[in-house]
Amino acid sequence: MAANEFSETHRVVYYEADDTGQLTLAMLINLFVLVSEDQNDALGLSTAFVQSHGVGWVVTQYHLHIDELPRTGAQVTIKTRATAYNRYFAYREYWLLDDAGQVLAYGEGIWVTMSYATRKITTIPAEVMAPYHSEEQTRLPRLPRPDHFDEAVNQTLKPYTVRYFDIDGNGHVNNAHYFDWMLDVLPATFLRAHHPTDVKIRFENEVQYGHQVTSELSQAAALTTQHMIKVGDLTAVKATIQWDNR
Amino acid sequence: MAANEFSETHRVVYYEADDTGQLTLAMLINLFVLVSEDQNDALGLSTAFVQSHGVGWVVTQYHLHIDELPRTGAQVTIKTRATAYNRYFAYREYWLLDDAGQVLAYGEGIWVTMSYATRKITTIPAEVMAPYHSEEQTRLPRLPRPDHFDEAVNQTLKPYTVRYFDIDGNGHVNNAHYFDWMLDVLPATFLRAHHPTDVKIRFENEVQYGHQVTSELSQAAALTTQHMIKVGDLTAVKATIQWDNR
């Protein structure tokens, strides 16, 4: 395993799965964040250490490719690599493997550091990047953006209020909850009969405790859903999800 | 460990904690249910086996006593015992221990079997009870009931719609979610400054996917909250929680 890789095992438990016993998309994101936080801790890059440099990590985009979601009781391995970075962006990869080492899901994410003083993106401090032994690159891989959200097609919408238990230590919504809001707009019959195979998601603005959000869905084709989470007129999240029959 | 006891270790991870890094009450219940389901599996009492007898287990009451809720990263042990039963009721105990074996939380629950044919409580089939080697008793311990809900005192209310990801394999709401609805009505400032020490909860009617529920709060005293979850006029859940300063 390269110096910038880290992995751990995990047992999928019932409260991480949906009513059919399959790991939820929200929990897949939680597992990817978990393994990267554990890598951070193992390298001495605790949240407190990162904060001591006046910054915090913020994810701007994920691209996920999913072959299969594991079921309750499955022993899986979660793996991550802080692959590459440049002045402003860090490119991280994630894997979910079954107990035979087969890839069940793969993810890539683009992270930035935000300054606590200016609330703006800042150059990544060398001290919070060096321990990964990542490759410095001028051009990082570009993740595909979500498709244009077509407001004309089959649009449905549900409102959600951000709850206390949706927020994390930063005072912002844990990203995984966006998936619950996005997918809950789809009918249960659709969710039980399909599983996501490709997810393009872009985080544009933060959502905070007490905000009223709307989760908008446009189903461009039978197996393609477009999603938008808004706070008033402000777009917080955009996503496109490809589905396949289970 | 007696034949009817079962325990396992668990690491508290960030998505099981609130924004202060403390295990949530909902997750404490999830952990207690997890260890009892793992005991069931270890004894060959799978959900499919129980269902083959035409019944399903349903919890009617919990009483929890909490000294301290562990924090993200804590290694804990969860333990359960199917202590005693009679014709209609099974009494189960639960413990959450820290890595030094100190009790952090203790719980007791009363379970019944519900017939799939009649949707009513039925005598517990011998085959689903015998493997625990529990003690048959005419009189089981009685759990304290929640206090009378005082509608006149400081009442506040929030509506919630049951989401797809709130429901479990039985098509009903995972019990842990009731705690999110009950506690979300309290201000974040209260939740961050206090922790629950005693919880009496009674489940009276089932809540299902798509239901609109209301979570009603009556704060009888500074450190006592009374809760009611209703579907229309029907009471689904009643609870009384004692709190202490963190």
Choose among A15, A169, A174: nearest Cβ to B176: A15
Beta-bridge partner residues of A23: A17
Domain boundary among A84, A106, A134: A134
- Residue B193 in this model has a pLDDT that exceeds 90: yes
Contacts of A176 (CB under 8 A, 6+ apart): A26, A27, A29, A30, A33, B15
Q: Once rounded to an integer, what is the mean pLDDT over residues B132-158? A: 91
Does residue A10 share a domain with residue A127?
yes
Does residue A188 share a domain with residue A84?
no
With pLDDT > 90 as the criterion, what percentage of chain B qualifies? Answer: 92
* B164 has a chain A CB within 8 A of its CB: yes
Q: B183 contacts in A (CB within 8 Å)?
A: 164-165
Does residue A179 share a domain with residue A99?
no
Is the overall model pTM greater than 0.90, yes or no? yes
Beta-bridge partner residues of A239: A201, A227
- Does residue B147 lie within any of the structural domains? no
Does residue B16 share a domain with residue B88?
yes
CATH number, domain of A64, equals 3.10.129.10
Interface test with B, best of A8, A11, A14 (most B CBs within 10 A): A14
CA gap A49, A52 in Å, rounded = 5
Per the structure, how many domains does chain B have? 2
Does residue B170 share a domain with residue B124?
no
The two tokens of residue A36 are 């990267």
Does residue B31 share a domain with residue B114?
yes
Q: Once rounded to an integer, what is the mean pLDDT over residues B112-138? A: 94
Does residue A234 share a domain with residue A125?
no
Contact B217, B225 (CB under 8 A): yes
String of DSSP letters for A92-130: EEEEEE-TTS-EEEEEEEEEEEEETTTSSEEPPPHHHHG
Contact A200, A190 (CB under 8 A): no
Q: Once rounded to an integer, what is the mean pLDDT over residues B229-236? A: 96
Alpha carbon distances (Å) from A186 to A74, A182, A241, B74, B174: 26, 8, 12, 36, 20
- Residue B170 in this model has a pLDDT that exceeds 90: no
Does residue B88 share a domain with residue B26?
yes
- Does residue A143 lie within any of the structural domains? no
Is B18's CB within 8 Å of A209's CB? no
Query: Over the stretch A14-46, which tens digit does the pLDDT of each residue have?
Result: 999 999 999 999 999 999 999 999 999 999 999
The closest of B3, B30, B8, B33 to B17, measured between CA atoms, is: B30
Interface test with A, best of B28, B164, B177 (most A CBs within 10 A): B164
- Per-residue model confidence (pLDDT) at position A3: 63
Does residue A169 share a domain with residue A82?
no
With pLDDT > 70 as the criterion, what percentage of chain A qualifies? Answer: 99
- Does residue A145 lie within any of the structural domains? no
CA gap A97, B125 in Å, rounded = 40
- Per-residue model confidence (pLDDT) at position B12: 98
Does residue A196 share a domain with residue A121?
no
Hey, which residues 194-223 in chain B have their CB within 8 Å of chain A?
209
Does residue A123 share a domain with residue A77?
yes
Query: Over the stretch A112-148, which tens digit does the pLDDT of each residue have?
Result: 999 989 989 999 999 999 999 999 999 999 999 999 9
Contacts of A21 (CB under 8 A, 6+ apart): A14, A71, A72, B169
For the beta carbon of residue A208, count every other beta carbon within 10 angstroms. Answer: 14
CB contacts < 8 Å between A and B, how many?
Answer: 75
CA gap B229, B205 in Å, rounded = 10
Full domain range(s) for residue B198: 153-243
- Does residue A142 lie within any of the structural domains? no
Does residue A161 share a domain with residue A122?
no
